[in-house]
Amino acid sequence: MSLSWDSLPICYDLGQPTPYSRNRLDNRQVIDPVTGVYWRPVRHYTPGTMQSAAVDYSRRNLLRGRIGALAEEPTRPPWALPAKFSALCARCNACIEGCSERILVRGDGGFPVVDFKRGGCSFCGTCVDLCKSGALIRTQEPAFPAKARVDRSCLAGRGITCRACGDACDVRAIRFRLQTGGRAEVNILMDACTGCGACLSICPVGALKIGVPGGGEPVKAT
């Protein structure tokens, strides 16, 4: 069999003994005895610096046929450091297990993400307190940079009485402006919205999304 070395898949060595670990890499003829797959040398990394294992979401979404706004990275836990989160997060699950609202789940690569379908964030800060790697740090910046958005499937905009999202919003960032024909225009006050996601889980038609203001179409919840 003739194979290009650069085209072979990469095995990440997480410090566990494997049939294709360091002592089998000298001759570059590493084969998984179970699957028969050829492997390239492992890429080692220092715990706490996870660049080598970080997920390339733009490439993954492209391969999955997702483009545009839906290709945005998933929502990280509150007060996540945007540029350093993947490098600092130890994927220990402490924030997931400690979340009082149970909205944190394991996402791609084992990194924690927010699933707003489960409910909204109460900003209790438990996840930050439990994070020992420094990936979550409470600052004066908003816990979530994204804001709630509403699309055309909203029941109120189609003349069907519904105020579920407004009732769920503690900061009253969602306002309804009555229109003709029994319709209501939903306005979200961006300065007031905290991006907590409480309105997403309660919407009966999933019309509310979370997205970065000015970033194009809304981004669907995880």
Q: Is 54 exposed, middle or buried (0-12, 13-18, 19+ CB in 10 A)?
A: middle
- R_g (Cα) of the chain, nearest Å: 22
Q: Is the pLDDT of residue 3 over 90?
A: no
Fold for the domain defined by 51-130: Alpha-Beta Plaits (3.30.70)
Average pLDDT over residues 94-121: 96
Q: Is the pLDDT of residue 105 over 90?
A: yes
pLDDT band of 201, cuts 50, 70, 90: very high
Q: Is the pLDDT of residue 38 over 60?
A: no
Fold for the domain defined by 147-211: Alpha-Beta Plaits (3.30.70)
Contact 82, 141 (CB under 8 A): no
Q: Which pLDDT value is given to residue 83?
A: 85
Contact 209, 195 (CB under 8 A): no
All CATH 3.30.70.20 domain ranges of the chain, comma separated, are 147-211
Q: What is the mean pLDDT of the chain?
A: 76
Q: Is the pLDDT of residue 33 over 80?
A: no
Q: Is the pLDDT of residue 208 over 70?
A: yes
For the full predicted model, state whether its pTM sits above 0.75: no
Single-letter residue type at 98? G
Q: Looking at 15-19, 87-91, 165-169, 180-184, which range is the least confident one? A: 15-19
Both tokens assigned to 108:
């791609």
